[in-house]
Structure 1
């Protein structure tokens, strides 16, 4: 990991944002500032994010900076290294592709098995998770959306009822979170459409036909579902 970044663009961003931080909820403003710095490259992969330095430059206490850093870590944009600090995540396209290659057959199998085992209670739980995704979209909380998205796919794996599949998912899931292979926080497409896509997946499970459900979940895992990403005019690479 690199040492604390000496990026003039980021230092300049902090200096010019000092006054604008105070009138709003401070942790939210710091979060927006840091996220924008990561998205626009002022903070590069492997740069260290030093809470005390950011607080000093903005003229605020460390508490709101710490909350902002925690939120960014939840979204997969920062990673905490014990005894070293917080760093901007570096994700190679090769790593993300490897994760998708493993995820796709797992999701296909889970959906196929779950479609044959669904109960009314399972469906209520899945519908509730989709509703929570839509609530997260309404308040623009990407971190909450990611958490619910992961909970959705974890529940489908659990419904499948195969303990070996569950164990494999438990190994894969933290890596999917770290690699942003579920609900990429930098996705610039329609989050509401992404929530609706999960509603469509529930409808296919509710129909009870394992084939179409398995195909849809596999396409979803591989990024082939029709949810556009404005960054490249393409479908997003992850869900």
Structure 2
């Protein structure tokens, strides 16, 4: 008699998929945005209890959101001294830039080989939306559209995991971008995005690689500019 259990014999529960964001997701999104916009600047103390009370939720989803923010580098959780918004790490910014350049340059080359005309049109739509955000002087929307543009380059190239990897390392880079995101820098970023799209549209892998490299290299200059204005927001590199 065969005693081996077959997969078909197992009784498993039906998993209900929830398309709406969880409470923890919503807490995470709100706090991340407040940190990016400096409503919660570096070294601000923040507590689970106070946050839960202000947002009208229990501590559990707040705790989950705090852990996610800490993993991404936005918060420092110290059991003995509490939780604070992290200082910006210049080293972390440059590491993120290295990772992004390596991954996104390869993704651009892949896009030149695999994109359909419909995929290119998606990127053209991003350019139109970014222009509208600049015209409306909506800095937060431009930042969100910037991220969406880069994520779609990865998604449409069939490598969505690339953007997932990038997100794990770019928290400090995001704050530099927000601190430097005035109308002039938005126009510059838009021009760089246009160059990337034009290269992908022409299926020129070398031009796409060069355009993406130039675009991501600008963060080095932005770090120095922001440090001059907001030095107290940065970790002491000599520490």
| Aligned pairs, number | 175
Following the alignment from structure 1 to structure 2, what is the Cα–Cα distance between the partners of residues 225 and 130? 24
- Give ranges in structure 1 of 5+ residues lacking alignment: 1-30, 54-61, 64-72, 234-239
* Partner residue in 1 for 2:167: 173
Residue 151 (structure 2) pairs with residue 154 (structure 1): yes
Moved over 3 A (4+): 34-38, 78-81, 84-89, 224-227, 229-233
Q: Structure 1 pair 95/36, CA: closer, same or farther in 2 (3 Å)?
A: closer
Q: Matches of residues 173-212 of structure 1 in structure 2 within 5 Å?
A: 173-176=167-170, 178-181=171-174, 184-188=177-181, 190=184, 191-212=186-207
Following the alignment from structure 2 to structure 1, what is the Cα–Cα distance between the partners of residues 193 and 221? 12
Higher RCO, Cα 8 Å, sep 6+:
2
Q: Structure 1 pair 219/103, CA: closer, same or farther in 2 (3 Å)?
A: same
Following the alignment from structure 2 to structure 1, what is the Cα–Cα distance between the partners of residues 75 and 139? 17
* Largest Rg, 1 or 2: 2
Provide the aligned C-alpha RMSD in A.
Answer: 4.2
Q: How far is 1:181 from its partner? A: 4.3
Q: How far is 1:224 from its partner? A: 7.4
Q: What is the TM-score when the length of structure 1 is the normalising length? A: 0.57
Following the alignment from structure 2 to structure 1, what is the Cα–Cα distance between the partners of residues 221 and 94? 19
* Partner residue in 2 for 1:102: 99
Following the alignment from structure 1 to structure 2, what is the Cα–Cα distance between the partners of residues 47 and 183? 17
- Give ranges in structure 2 of 5+ residues lacking alignment: 1-32, 56-68, 229-239
Q: What is the TM-score when the length of structure 2 is the normalising length? A: 0.57
Deviations 1:48-93 (A, max 9, x none): 268xx9xxxxxxxx79xxxxxxxxx9xx9x7698xx9985442110
Find the partner of 2:112 among 108, 112, 115.
115
Q: Structure 1 pair 221/122, CA: closer, same or farther in 2 (3 Å)?
A: same
Following the alignment from structure 1 to structure 2, what is the Cα–Cα distance between the partners of residues 148 and 231? 22
Q: Structure 1 pair 37/168, CA: closer, same or farther in 2 (3 Å)?
A: closer
Following the alignment from structure 2 to structure 1, what is the Cα–Cα distance between the partners of residues 141 and 167? 16
After superposing the two structures, state which structure 1 stretch, 106-115 or 208-217, moved more.
208-217
SS in 2 for 1:91: coil
